[in-house]
Amino acid sequence: MKNFLFYSCKKATELIEKSKVINLNPIEKSRLAIHVSMCDSCRTYHQTSDILDRKLSEHLHQQTETESDLGEKKEALLKKLKIE
Amino acid sequence: MSQPENKKELLNTWVNNYYGDLYRWAKFKISDSHLAEDLVQEVFLVAADNIEKFRNQSTPKTWLFKILNNKLVDQYRIKTNSKVHPMEERQLFELTDSLFDKNSNWASTSQSQVWNQNLDLDSELEQNLTQCMYSLPELWKKVVFEKYYENQDTDKICTTNDLSKANYWQIMHRMKLFLKDCIEKMVNKNH
C-alpha cells in the first residue's frame, strides 16, 4: 500500500467524500477503485458513509413539526407579546 | 419606531417571517421541542424590550438569531454537567487522525456490526447518533443542519460559511469518521 500508485485509507476515504461533492477526475477515480477493490475497511467505510447520509437526513426530518403545529406556536406567542 | 402600534406591527411581521427558522434551529441544537419553544419565546420578548436598539444595522433575522444563539449558549452552560461537550475543530482532526496508523491506513480493521443493515439496530444507531452529534464543533453542526435538514446545495453552504469546496468535503470526511467511531464506541459500551 505504500506504493505511490496507491492511496492510503485516509486518502481513499477522503476521496469517497469528495466524490459526493464533485466529480473525481479519471485518475482519482481509477486509483480509488483499485484501493476500494482491495480494502475491506474502506468498502465498509463507503457503506457507513451512505448510511450516515441517510440517517442524518431522516433523523433531522423526524424532528420536523408540521406547519399547523408551528402556526399554533406562533399564535400563542403573538398573544403573549400583545399582553406584555 | 417609538410608536407602540409600529412596534407591534414590526414584531408581528418578525414572528410571522422568522419564527419557524428560529424554532427549527433551536430544536436542532438542543433536541427538545418544549425548551426550543420557550427559548424562541424569550427571544421575541427580549426583542420587544430592545426594539429601539435595533437600528437596521443588521437584518432582523441576523439580530434575532444572535439573541437566540446567546440563549442557546446560556442553555448549554446550565447543562454543563452533561458528559458531552462540543469539541474544537482541531480536537476533532486529532481524534480522527488517530483512527489511522503512521502510513495513514486504518489503525484497526475490526468491523462493527452496527452498520450491518440486516441486523435491526436502527433505533440504537439513531439514539447514539443524536448523542454523538452534540460533540461536533458548532460550525459543523450548522453545516449538517443546512445540508441534511434544509437541503441547501453545496455552493450555498460554502458561501454562507466561508468554506472552499475542499474545506467542505474535508469537514464531511472528518465528521463521518468521527460519527462512525463515536457510534461504534457507544454500541460496544452497551453490549
pLDDT digits (tens, 9 = 90+) for A56-80: 988 777 666 666 778 888 888 888 8
ipTM higher than threshold 0.90: no
CA B108/CA B110 separation, integer angstroms: 6
A81 contact residues in B (CB cutoff 8 A): 8, 11, 15, 44-45, 48
Q: Which of B92, B111, B180 is nearest to A48 (CA)?
A: B180
pLDDT tens digits along A18-55 = 999 999 999 999 999 999 999 999 999 999 999 999 99
pLDDT tens digits along B146-172 = 999 888 999 999 999 999 999 999 999
Q: What is the pLDDT of residue B153?
A: 94
Q: Are B104 and A10 in contact (CB < 8 Å)?
A: yes
Q: What is the pLDDT of residue A80?
A: 83
CA B141/CA B31 separation, integer angstroms: 13
Residues A18, A22, A25, CA angle at the centre, nearest 5°?
85
Asked if the model's pLDDT at residue B1 lies above 50, the reply is no
Residue A43, chain B, CB below 8 Å: the answer is no
Confidence band (pLDDT; 50, 70, 90) for B82? low
CA B159/CA B153 separation, integer angstroms: 10
Q: Are A52 and B104 in contact (CB < 8 Å)?
A: no
The rounded radius of gyration (Å) of the Cα atoms in chain A is: 23
B131 contact residues in A (CB cutoff 8 A): none
A71 contact residues in B (CB cutoff 8 A): none
Between B84 and A2, the more confident residue is: B84
Contact B64, B14 (CB under 8 A): yes
pTM: 0.77
Q: Are B28 and A63 in contact (CB < 8 Å)?
A: yes
For the record, the C-alpha cell of B38 comes out as 420557550
Q: What percent of chain B has pLDDT over 90?
A: 46
Residue A61, chain B, CB below 8 Å: the answer is yes
The amino acid present at B92, given as its one-letter code, is: L
CA B46/CA B64 separation, integer angstroms: 9
Q: What is the mean pLDDT of residues B127-137?
A: 85
